[in-house]
């Protein structure tokens, strides 16, 4: 039984937090390392910080950039800005150079809260920054200096003995501008309202059946909406406890889960794959984890559930369109990403002319909502991108899905990751699933490369398991009986690791740009012929 569902007009973070404080002020909300912070602690601390931001000149509707590691400092700042009605701009802590300056400039932020570890990166692009004026620095020593910006100690924001008492935001007001991770192109700042953030978080409450007595452990970065909303905020909505573990570690995962007595978790498919790929232990099932949200599902989902004695649900969604799908723990076939939440969303599967296709036919997924303000209303500072993405009054997701007659939806591919070869459409995900089942393979990425004939050829970029060596011809012979001949890769390149976003999603655009190299194994050049 889900304990809370706040009325839509009360779905701003300040109001939700105040209600949880009134109910359980001493209940731990945030656990990080050996430190525990109650709902009351966070409320008081963020209230003082909100007053500090106001004293610094921050007003409702202003953007403030945050470049912080996954610590409670991030939670104070996020809650404080939300109370003030200011707009949080999370900055990926791995950004540097032109992409860092692009995000800061595009957001129009004048003030930034930044950890001292990242100061050097800010200084390196200082000459390119047009709006940034003031830095509040976490962890800075007295030697910290800047020729370009006014540096202030982060703790100055807590100097006021008073807490913010002003009028908070409405549910329809902007809470954040979140820049997409750029797996298929330049980062875009998706605008996120308070209702949008609540809907994303509440969807995870539903999908995990989160309750007040749950301890929720999810190794996702706070600069990403999955870490901030799908971990911290959803725990607040349910009145549960959220553990901030920092970066994902397959080695430390089960130790941490047992230490914190965690009952639920959110795992990206790559994370689940790494956990499942570890050497099985006799006590794998002896853990407190009961429920996992896994996105996307790995082919070994049933074996994962059995080995670790947990339930698994899944979904499909994204920064702009939220999560329109729900699978529940009764998975249809370990391939479907769920069924439509019809009370809140409409989804159409369409061809290249936006005409709806029948069940069983893949097409691009378009999304719109039945309630206002619960998906993004566009891209910050870029109306031309907004018009393109929301053409014909539907948000064009760029994801290819397929719907069956029973109303189950299946993720097929990103539109740009689909491959056209010899008159056939090939899903890179389907080829990757088969490659990843090879005993020597840890993970892979399948991309299209230009063909000297027509259309495209299939290329697999593969990472071998530690201690294993990949034989490309052996891989091809392994794949041949498992897929149609036209799906079998022509090119295979073994690499030590794949490029990824900080949330462990594989980035394919660098691989597409690199294409075939002198080190790439070519099936045709090697004389390996396929049976048809």
348-359 burial, b if ≥16 CB within 10 A, otherwise e? bbbeeeeeeeee
- 8-state DSSP, 509: H
Question: Based on the domain organization, do 143 and 61 belong to the same domain?
Answer: yes
Question: Based on the domain organization, do 490 and 353 belong to the same domain?
Answer: no
| Residue 415: count of CB within 10 angstroms of its CB | 16
Residue 502: give its domain's CATH number. 3.30.300.30
Q: For 464-475, what is the mean pLDDT? A: 95
pLDDT of residue 43: 97
**CA 4 to chain CA centroid, nearest Å:** 24
Count of alpha carbons within 13 angstroms of residue 235, beta-carbon side: 29
- Among residues 417, 441, 460, the one where a domain terminates is 417
Is 452's pLDDT higher than 70? no
Confidence of residue 57 (pLDDT cuts 50, 70, 90): very high
Question: Based on the domain organization, do 355 and 481 belong to the same domain?
Answer: no
User: Does residue 254 belong to any structural domain of this protein?
Assistant: no
Q: For 397-425, what is the mean pLDDT? A: 84
Q: Which residue is listed with tokens 């290819």?
A: 400
- 8-state DSSP, 173: S
Specify the number of domains making up the chain: 3
Percent of the chain with pLDDT over 70: 95
Separation of alpha carbons 168 and 18, rounded Å:
12
- Among residues 175, 192, 209, the one where a domain terminates is 192
Separation of alpha carbons 368 and 324, rounded Å:
9
Q: Helices (DSSP H) in 261-379: which residue ranges?
A: 269-276, 301-308
- Among residues 147, 163, 192, the one where a domain terminates is 192
User: Does residue 114 belong to any structural domain of this protein?
Assistant: yes
Is 469's pLDDT higher than 90? yes
Question: Based on the domain organization, do 400 and 442 belong to the same domain?
Answer: no
Mean pLDDT over all residues of the chain?
Answer: 91
What tens digit of pLDDT does each residue of 327-352 get? 999 999 989 999 999 999 999 999 98
Question: Based on the domain organization, do 370 and 451 belong to the same domain?
Answer: no
User: Does residue 160 belong to any structural domain of this protein?
Assistant: yes
Separation of alpha carbons 486 and 484, rounded Å:
6
Q: For 359-367, what is the mean pLDDT? A: 95
Separation of alpha carbons 240 and 261, rounded Å:
13
Q: Which residues pair with 349 in a beta bridge?
A: 365
What tens digit of pLDDT does each residue of 60-97 get? 999 999 999 999 999 999 999 999 999 999 998 888 77
Q: pTM of the predicted model, to two decimals?
A: 0.85
pLDDT of residue 422: 67
Is 177's pLDDT higher than 70? yes
What tens digit of pLDDT does each residue of 245-254 get? 988 899 999 9
Separation of alpha carbons 158 and 111, rounded Å:
16
Q: For 26-33, what is the mean pLDDT? A: 96
Residue 158: give its domain's CATH number. 3.40.50.12780
Q: For 129-146, what is the mean pLDDT? A: 86
Question: Based on the domain organization, do 44 and 149 belong to the same domain?
Answer: yes
- 8-state DSSP, 506: B
Q: For 411-426, what is the mean pLDDT? A: 75
User: Does residue 230 belong to any structural domain of this protein?
Assistant: no
User: Does residue 305 belong to any structural domain of this protein?
Assistant: no
Q: Which residue is listed with tokens 């202003």?
A: 62
Extract long-range pairs of 367-371: CB within 8 Å, 24+ residues apart: 367/321, 367/324, 367/394, 367/395, 367/397, 368/393, 368/394, 368/395, 369/322, 369/344, 369/345, 370/343, 370/344, 370/345, 370/346, 371/8, 371/344
Percent of the chain with pLDDT over 90: 74
Q: Which residue is listed with tokens 């995962």?
A: 253
Q: For 22-27, what is the mean pLDDT? A: 96
Q: In a 3-state reduction of DSSP, which class is residue 521?
A: strand
Cα 439 to Cα 219, 257, 301, 471, 479, distances in angstroms? 27, 28, 17, 11, 12
Question: Based on the domain organization, do 365 and 502 belong to the same domain?
Answer: no
Is 453's pLDDT higher than 70? no
pLDDT of residue 269: 87
User: Does residue 410 belong to any structural domain of this protein?
Assistant: yes
Question: Based on the domain organization, do 350 and 483 belong to the same domain?
Answer: no
Residue 394: give its domain's CATH number. 2.30.38.10
pLDDT of residue 186: 58
Q: For 448-457, what is the mean pLDDT? A: 76
Question: Based on the domain organization, do 15 and 149 belong to the same domain?
Answer: yes
User: Does residue 292 belong to any structural domain of this protein?
Assistant: no
Q: For 485-510, what is the mean pLDDT? A: 87
Longest pairwise C-alpha distance within the chain: 77
Q: In a 3-state reduction of DSSP, which class is residue 322?
A: strand
Confidence of residue 1 (pLDDT cuts 50, 70, 90): very low
Q: For 469-478, what is the mean pLDDT? A: 95
- 8-state DSSP, 318: B
Q: For 257-273, what is the mean pLDDT? A: 93
Radius of gyration of the CA atoms of the chain, in A: 24
Separation of alpha carbons 67 and 222, rounded Å:
10
Confidence of residue 191 (pLDDT cuts 50, 70, 90): very high
Q: Which residue is listed with tokens 């790439």?
A: 520
User: Does residue 282 belong to any structural domain of this protein?
Assistant: no
What tens digit of pLDDT does each residue of 126-137 get? 999 999 999 999
pLDDT of residue 226: 87
How, if at all, do strands 150-153 and 189-193 pair?
Answer: unpaired
Question: Based on the domain organization, do 436 and 512 belong to the same domain?
Answer: yes
pLDDT of residue 199: 96
Domain interval for residue 396: 343-417
Strand boundaries in 357-455, DSSP class E: 363-369, 395-403, 408-414, 419-421, 424-426, 441-450
| Residue 453: count of CB within 10 angstroms of its CB | 9
Separation of alpha carbons 279 and 282, rounded Å:
10
Is there a cis peptide before residue 119, judged by omega within 30 degrees of 0?
no
Question: Based on the domain organization, do 395 and 458 belong to the same domain?
Answer: no
Cα 65 to Cα 48, 100, 225, distances in angstroms? 19, 11, 15
Confidence of residue 5 (pLDDT cuts 50, 70, 90): confident
Question: Based on the domain organization, do 53 and 170 belong to the same domain?
Answer: yes
């Amino acid at each position: 039984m889900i304990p809370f569902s706040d009325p839509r007009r009360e779905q701003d973070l300040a109001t939700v937090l105040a209600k949880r404080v009134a109910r359980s002020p001493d209940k731990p909300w945030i656990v990080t390392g050996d430190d525990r912070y109650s709902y009351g602690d966070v409320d008081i601390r963020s209230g003082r910080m909100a007053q500090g931001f106001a004293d610094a000149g921050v007003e409702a509707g202003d953007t403030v950039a945050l470049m912080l590691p996954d610590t409670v400092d991030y939670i104070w700042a996020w809650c404080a800005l939300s109370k003030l009605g200011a707009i949080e701009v999370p900055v990926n802590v791995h950004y540097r150079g032109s992409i860092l300056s692009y995000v800061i400039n595009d957001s129009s932020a004048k003030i930034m809260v930044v950890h001292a570890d990242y100061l050097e990166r800010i200084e390196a692009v200082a000459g390119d920054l047009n709006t940034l004026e003031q830095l509040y620095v976490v962890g800075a020593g007295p030697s910290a200096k800047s020729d370009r910006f006014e540096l202030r100690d982060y703790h100055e924001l807590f100097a006021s003995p008073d807490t913010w008492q002003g009028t908070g935001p409405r549910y329809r007001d902007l809470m954040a501008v979140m820049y997409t991770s750029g797996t298929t192109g330049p980062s875009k700042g998706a605008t996120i309202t308070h209702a949008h953030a609540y809907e994303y978080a509440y969807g995870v409450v539903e999908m995990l059946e989160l309750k007040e007595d749950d301890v929720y452990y999810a190794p996702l970065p706070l600069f990403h909406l999955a870490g901030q909303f799908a971990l911290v905020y959803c725990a607040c909505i349910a009145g549960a406890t959220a553990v901030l573990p920092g970066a994902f570690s397959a080695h430390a995962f089960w130790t941490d889960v047992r230490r914190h007595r965690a009952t639920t978790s959110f795992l990206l498919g790559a994370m689940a794959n790494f956990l499942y790929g570890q050497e099985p232990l006799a006590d794998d099932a002896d853990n407190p984890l009961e429920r996992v949200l896994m996105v996307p599902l790995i082919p070994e989902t049933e074996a994962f559930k059995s080995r670790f004695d947990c339930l698994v649900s899944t979904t499909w969604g994204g920064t702009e369109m939220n999560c329109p799908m729900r699978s529940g723990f009764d998975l249809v076939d370990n391939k479907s990403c769920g069924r439509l939440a019809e009370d809140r969303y409409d989804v159409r599967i369409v061809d290249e002319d936006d005409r709806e296709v029948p069940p069983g036919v893949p097409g691009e997924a378009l999304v719109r909502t039945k309630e206002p303000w619960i998906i993004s209303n566009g891209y910050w500072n870029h109306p031309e991108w907004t018009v393109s993405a929301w053409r014909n009054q539907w948000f064009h997701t760029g994801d290819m899905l397929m719907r069956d007659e029973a109303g189950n939806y299946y993720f097929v591919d990103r539109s740009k990751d689909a491959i056209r070869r010899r008159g056939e459409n090939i899903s890179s995900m389907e080829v990757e699933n088969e490659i990843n089942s090879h005993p020597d393979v840890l993970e892979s990425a399948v991309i299209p490369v230009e063909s000297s004939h027509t259309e495209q050829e299939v290329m697999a970029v593969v990472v071998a398991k530690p201690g294993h060596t990949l034989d490309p011809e052996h891989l091809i012979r392994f794949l041949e009986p498992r897929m149609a001949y036209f799906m079998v890769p022509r090119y295979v390149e073994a690499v030590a690791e794949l490029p990824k976003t900080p949330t462990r999603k594989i980035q394919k655009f660098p691989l597409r740009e690199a294409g075939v190299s002198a080190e790439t194994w070519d099936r045709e050049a090697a004389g390996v012929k396929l049976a048809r």
